[in-house]
């Protein structure tokens, strides 16, 4: 080699420096600061004058645990994750199986069409769905009325608001996971299916004993990513319901936004953010653990 | 019996596909149709799926009365700037992780990947305070600077470059080319497909982003299209046709980008999905 190894090492750091510096200053430093902030009473007065800032230990967290609003937001977010997440994954898998089947001609067309909602702007389509959900003029209630169903006040009824938001969210993002499932399906060797067919296995048994097990790693990835994303739900309730009716669609991130950027209770809001982080971390570890225990 | 199933199955299969298509596209179809309807027609009952007479007056109102051109410009400018700058910075870092050997490299990369579990919202409160210190609230910089480097972008470039043989780069090194020259005139051209992919991801991500621009761009002249649209809803919620025109305007640029470059986009998801 003509060039000097130490020269290469220093140029490696030169290539890395801009990215690492930016990520350190604008991501890791704020994360660390958020942790500190969550132990302070940072509020609108501290925003003007930092001398008013005090360390208050775990008070924010204790206050949080005693706040009914926080528990409501937590319950709503879990509702969204536990119902919306699996529903979204199931629809994605169904769409992937449909599009990927040998029976389907023009799979590229269907794939692109099902994917279209993913590339749309969430705020814009949330606005569109607000009108589709309109109790009097909305398309959805009109279609239901053809089947004899009475009009539903989708976004105004406390019991229907969250299901309505979930439905919209699933419509918006099932296409993303569909693409990943299609990639997973295409990685399964076709010889396996041929061998199964020779052994007389029907379509269901082929699906149950070949497709599903071999899709395992894809499934884990999709489930994890969907869960992490769904825990962060914000724009849908912000645009469609503002957290209402009766706080039934208030999510944890929406609560954090309201507390932090509307009332400037930044210490308290940081504690909310860290609870969200802890939940996502716990959910991730739990899913990884469950996967490991499962016999392959 | 089997013959019957073989005849019926395709029909059943295609009706399922058609149903899926209908459910997926109807909201988008209605959005476009309603944006072209005369005032009041989108709230007629039963709902119409096609305008009785096509009009562009709502689009005209968006640009004359409501100054949406300003937000369109803001969104275009911000998304383009973040895309170009972050492509440069992420590709440099991805190149270093893929093709240089230095102590602590793998551990550093692993810890960056692990940080992907941290939700971005956790950083937002202190980030706001930090940018306030720098005087970047209500400036384009407040959106651009935190978006200039991304862990996912570095990851994508690294994965792509790992598959490219070192011998190619070594040959250039033997010829005495400087490291930066190798990166600029050899590595970057080699990365073209993945740069296009990452570029689309970044552009769409920035264009569609809502929460951070909402927080950092409080002055109405600085706002992006999604934020402006959400504000518009507050004042014009009764103006269904106008709101739909605003939605079409927000969605159309990214949809066109996807339709033109979908090959790259979908390849990128598969790359990120399988190897991640």
pLDDT in tens, B228-270: 999 999 889 889 999 999 999 999 999 999 999 988 888 888 7
Q: Which pLDDT does position A244 carry in this prediction?
A: 86
Q: Which pLDDT does position A296 carry in this prediction?
A: 47
Quote the CA–CA distance of B158 and A208 in Å, as a whole number. Answer: 36
More confident residue, B144 or B178: B144
Mutate to test the interface with B, among A1, A12, A13, A124 (most CBs of B within 10 A): A124
Select the residue of A3, A123, A180 nearest B273 (Cβ to Cβ): A180
Q: Which pLDDT does position A103 carry in this prediction?
A: 86
Select the residue of B89, B112, B262 nearest A18 (Cβ to Cβ): B89
- How distant is the Cα of A204 from the closest Cα of chain B, in angstroms? 15
Please count the other Cβ atoms lying within 10 Å of the Cβ belonging to residue B251. 27
- How distant is the Cα of B89 from the closest Cα of chain A, in angstroms? 6
Mutate to test the interface with A, among B25, B27, B256 (most CBs of A within 10 A): B27
Select the residue of B46, B215, B225 nearest A261 (Cβ to Cβ): B215
- How confident is residue B124, by pLDDT bands cut at 50, 70 and 90? very high
Q: Do A127 and B229 touch (CB under 8 A)?
A: yes
Q: Which pLDDT does position B167 carry in this prediction?
A: 86
- How confident is residue B276, by pLDDT bands cut at 50, 70 and 90? very low
Share of chain B above pLDDT 70, in %: 97
Q: Which pLDDT does position A9 carry in this prediction?
A: 74
pLDDT at residue B212 is higher than 70? yes
Mutate to test the interface with B, among A13, A22, A184 (most CBs of B within 10 A): A22
Q: Do B240 and A131 touch (CB under 8 A)?
A: yes
- How distant is the Cα of B19 from the closest Cα of chain A, in angstroms? 11
Q: Which pLDDT does position B130 carry in this prediction?
A: 95
Q: Do A121 and B25 touch (CB under 8 A)?
A: no
Q: Do B24 and A117 touch (CB under 8 A)?
A: yes
Select the residue of B17, B121, B276 nearest A253 (Cβ to Cβ): B121
Query: How many contacts (CB atoms, under 8 Å) link A and B?
Result: 268
Both tokens assigned to A40: 């302070």
- How distant is the Cα of A124 from the closest Cα of chain B, in angstroms? 5
* Burial zone of A189 (CB within 10 Å; 0-12 exposed, 13-18 middle, 19+ buried): exposed
Closest CA to B223 of B71, B73, B81, B76: B71
Q: Do A273 and B130 touch (CB under 8 A)?
A: no
Quote the CA–CA distance of B134 and B141 in Å, as a whole number. Answer: 10
Q: Do A103 and B96 touch (CB under 8 A)?
A: no
Mutate to test the interface with B, among A97, A103, A128 (most CBs of B within 10 A): A128
Which positions in chain A touch B120 (Cβ < 8 Å)? 232
Q: Do A131 and B151 touch (CB under 8 A)?
A: no
Select the residue of A119, A132, A260 nearest B254 (Cβ to Cβ): A119
Single pTM value for the model: 0.93
Q: What is the mean pLDDT of each run of 10 residues along chain A (296 residues)?
A: 60 94 97 96 87 91 96 97 97 95 90 94 95 94 93 95 97 95 91 88 87 89 93 96 94 97 96 96 91 64
Provide CB contacts within 8 A for B217, sequence distance 6+: B74, B138, B142, B143, B223, B224, B227
Residue pointed to by tokens 């692990």: B114
Which positions in chain A touch B145 (Cβ < 8 Å)? 22, 26
Q: Which pLDDT does position B275 carry in this prediction?
A: 46
Q: Do B233 and A119 touch (CB under 8 A)?
A: no
Quote the CA–CA distance of A181 and A92 in Å, as a whole number. Answer: 7
Closest residue in chain B to residue A175, using alpha carbons only: B24
Q: Which pLDDT does position B129 carry in this prediction?
A: 95
Q: Do B123 and A34 touch (CB under 8 A)?
A: yes
pLDDT at residue B273 is higher than 70? no
Select the residue of B13, B24, B43 nearest A113 (Cβ to Cβ): B24
Quote the CA–CA distance of A156 and A172 in Å, as a whole number. Answer: 21
Average confidence score pLDDT of chain B: 92
Q: Do A235 and B210 touch (CB under 8 A)?
A: yes
Please count the other Cβ atoms lying within 10 Å of the Cβ belonging to residue A4. 9
């Amino acid at each position: 080699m003509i060039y000097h190894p130490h020269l290469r090492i220093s140029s490696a750091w030169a290539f890395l420096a801009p990215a690492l510096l930016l990520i350190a200053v604008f991501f890791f430093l704020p994360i660390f600061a958020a942790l500190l902030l969550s132990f302070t009473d940072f509020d609108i007065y501290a925003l003007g004058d930092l001398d008013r800032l005090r360390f208050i230990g775990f008070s924010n967290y204790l206050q949080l645990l005693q706040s009914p609003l926080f528990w409501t937001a937590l319950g709503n977010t879990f509702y969204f994750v536990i119902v919306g997440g699996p529903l979204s994954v199931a629809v994605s898998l169904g769409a992937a199986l449909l599009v990927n089947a040998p029976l389907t001609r023009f799979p590229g067309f269907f794939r692109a069409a099902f994917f279209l909602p993913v590339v749309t702007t969430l705020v814009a389509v949330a606005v569109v769905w607000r009108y589709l959900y309109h109790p009097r003029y909305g398309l959805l209630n009109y279609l239901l009325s053809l089947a004899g169903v009475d009009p539903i006040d989708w976004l105004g009824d406390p019991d229907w608001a969250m299901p309505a938001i979930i439905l919209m969210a699933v419509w918006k993002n099932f296409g993303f996971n569909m693409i990943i499932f299609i990639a997973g399906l295409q990685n399964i060797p076709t010889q396996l299916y041929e061998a199964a067919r020779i052994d007389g296995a029907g379509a269901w048994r082929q699906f149950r004993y070949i497709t599903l097990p071999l899709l395992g790693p894809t499934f884990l990835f999709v489930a994890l990513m969907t869960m992490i994303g769904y825990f962060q739900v914000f724009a849908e309730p912000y645009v469609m319901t503002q957290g209402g009716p009766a706080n039934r669609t208030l999510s944890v991130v929406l609560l954090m936004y309201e507390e932090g950027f509307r009332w400037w209770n930044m210490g308290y809001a940081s504690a909310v953010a860290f609870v969200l982080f802890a939940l996502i971390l716990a959910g991730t570890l739990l899913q990884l653990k469950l996967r490991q225990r499962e016999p392959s | 019996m089997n013959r019957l199933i073989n005849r019926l199955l395709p029909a059943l299969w295609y009706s399922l596909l058609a149903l899926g298509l209908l459910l997926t596209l109807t909201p988008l179809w209605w959005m476009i149709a309603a944006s072209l309807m005369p005032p009041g027609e989108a709230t007629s009952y039963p709902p119409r799926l096609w305008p009785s007479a096509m009009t562009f007056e709502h689009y005209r109102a968006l640009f004359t009365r409501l100054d949406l051109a300003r937000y369109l410009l803001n969104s275009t400018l911000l998304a383009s700037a973040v895309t170009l700058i972050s492509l440069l910075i992420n590709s440099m870092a991805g190149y270093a992780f893929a093709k240089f050997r230095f102590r602590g490299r793998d551990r550093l990369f692993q810890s960056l990947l692990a940080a992907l579990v941290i939700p971005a919202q956790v950083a937002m409160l202190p980030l706001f305070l930090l940018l306030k210190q720098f005087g970047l609230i209500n400036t384009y910089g407040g959106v651009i600077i935190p978006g200039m480097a991304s862990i996912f972008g570095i990851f994508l470039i690294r994965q792509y470059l790992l598959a490219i043989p070192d011998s190619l780069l070594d040959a250039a090194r033997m010829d005495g080319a400087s490291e930066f020259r190798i990166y600029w005139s050899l590595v970057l051209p080699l990365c073209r497909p993945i740069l296009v992919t990452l570029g689309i991801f970044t552009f769409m991500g920035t264009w569609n982003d809502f929460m951070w621009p909402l927080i950092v761009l409080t002055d109405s002249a600085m706002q992006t299209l999604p934020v402006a649209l959400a504000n518009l809803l507050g004042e014009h919620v009764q103006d269904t046709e106008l709101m739909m025109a605003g939605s079409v305007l927000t969605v159309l640029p990214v949809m066109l980008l996807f339709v033109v470059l979908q090959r790259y986009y979908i390849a990128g998801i598969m790359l990120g999905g399988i190897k991640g």
